[in-house]
Amino acid sequence: MIQAHNHPFVSCRLQNPPNQGLITLLQRPQRHLKFSNGNTAKKLSVHSCVNILAATLSISSSRSKPTRGKKLPGQTLCGTLEHEFVIESKDDQLTLLQGDLWRKIDAFYRFSRPHTIIGTIIGITSVSLLPLTSIGDLSPAFFVGYLKALIPSIFMNIYVVGLNQLFDVEIDKVNKPNLPLASGEYSMGLGKAIVSAFGLMSFAMGIVFQSPPVFFALLICFLFGSAYSVELPLLRWKRNAFLAAFSILMVRAITVNLAFFYHIQKYVLGRPMVFPRSLCFATVCISMFTTVIALFKDIPDVDGDRDFGIQSFSVCLGQKRVFWLCIGILLIAYASALVIGASSSFLLSKLVTVIGHCTLASILWRRANSVNLEDNSSMTSFYMSIWKLFYAEYLLIPFVR
């Protein structure tokens, strides 16, 4: 074993090398070279260091199978040096590749805005269960039809949130600097490629699956999502508080609930379209939730929105007023759900909806009173809590009968 210390052309270590186990040239000035037997050669010349490297490469290449633990006659310790470095180098390269892969996955995870995707998955799942009348309806055909609605909708979701980031890069540098485009992890070209690819794949699936309600839902999401973000005359609806809330309401509350219920009812189960109590409740209740989400999402972003001329309700009315307005709307939604649940003729439906909504309302009230309205991080955390209440509401909707 040899170890080079402070020499201008060589730095070789077998144990815990600083540069991933590779022989590093052109390091800072060195003073001596230490061998494993304790001998030290001081003040090596450049020529000597080059000779050491040449000998190492020559000896290791002349031996196809180095003997481990034994030194062959005439074999210097440098003869086994390169072999051990190569093994360590491969391990380090694998670690670097794994780290690079995880960084790319993490960047795409943040780019896709996962809380919105979770909302899409839970919403479509909940609405798809509403047409079922018996356990026998849970057939393979149902699950295939469910996936035909779910997968292109997730792709369209990524298109919509990605498009918004493309047009909000400067705003996100203030409000959401951790997003890949705002932080510089993604170039604009890469962002455009991802958005275009997922939009095209979504529409391709909508055409191939031959379900008019699914294709109609994708088209509505595309149109409203584009109108919300794109900087063109009469568009960029997010600049107007009413149009911004209206576009989110149309997609999340109206389109998702009606289109995907119709898809399962008509094109999967083969039954005529009806409007059951649960669907009406889902449409009204989720409309109130999406209104709150549309209003509340701008509360933590008020600084960037004000700087870039986005006239959100939070900018116009103030964060505190909009905050308590959102809490009031959600409490009204929960009170309505309690009345509908209590009037159900099914005991299980009555118990689940009443107890469930009482629990959610108490969580909301307790959490709202602990929020620091002056701290944007606290407001952002509460905004994500509203999304969780939104998920929970979709879980309760199938029990409304």
Q: Do residues 12 and 38 lie in contact, with contact meaning Cβ atoms separated by under 8 Å? A: no
Amino acid identity of 276?
Answer: P
- The confidence score (pLDDT) of residue 78 equals 45
Tokens found for residue 103: 């960084």
392, 357 contact by CB (below 8 A): no
What per-residue confidence (pLDDT) applies to 88?
52
Burial class (CB in 10 A: 0-12, 13-18, 19+), 30: middle
| Contact (CB, 8 A) for 92 and 20 | yes
- Which pLDDT score is estimated for 113? 94
Query: Sheet containing 40-42: which strands, arranged edge to edge?
Result: 2-5, 32-35, 40-42
Task: Give the CA dihedral 79, 80, 83, 84, nearest 10 degrees.
Answer: -150
What's the confidence (pLDDT) of residue 74?
46
Name the token pair of 111: 């780019």
Of 41, 17, 15, nearest to 30 by C-alpha is 41
| Element at 41 (helix H, strand E) | strand 40-42
- Residue 384 CA to residue 192 CA, distance in Å, equals 27
Confidence at residue 8, expressed as pLDDT on a 0 to 100 scale: 41
The C-alpha atoms of residue 296 and residue 389 are separated, in whole angstroms, by 13
Q: What is the DSSP string of 231-297?
A: -STT--GGGBHHHHHHHHHIIIIIIHHHHHHHIIIIIIS-------HHHHHHHHHHHHHHHHHHHHT
Token readout for 376 is 């944007």
- What's the whole-model pTM score? 0.72
Closest of 196, 219, 223, 197 to residue 206, by C-alpha: 219
- Here the tokens at position 346 are 């099914």
- Residue 4: its H or E element: strand 2-5
pLDDT at res. 374? 81
Distance between CA atoms of residues 368 and 322, nearest Å: 13
Distance, in Å, from the CA atom of 310 to the CA atom of 299, rounded to the nearest integer, reads 12
Note down pLDDT in tens along the chain; length 401 residues. 444 444 444 434 444 444 444 434 334 444 444 444 444 444 444 444 445 444 444 444 444 444 444 444 444 444 444 444 445 567 788 888 888 899 999 999 999 999 999 999 999 999 999 999 889 999 999 999 999 999 999 999 999 999 999 999 998 998 889 999 999 999 999 999 999 999 999 999 999 999 999 999 999 999 999 999 999 988 988 888 788 889 988 998 899 999 999 999 999 999 999 988 889 999 999 999 999 988 888 787 777 777 777 777 777 778 888 899 999 999 999 999 999 989 888 898 899 999 999 999 999 999 999 988 888 888 888 989 999 999 999 999 999 88
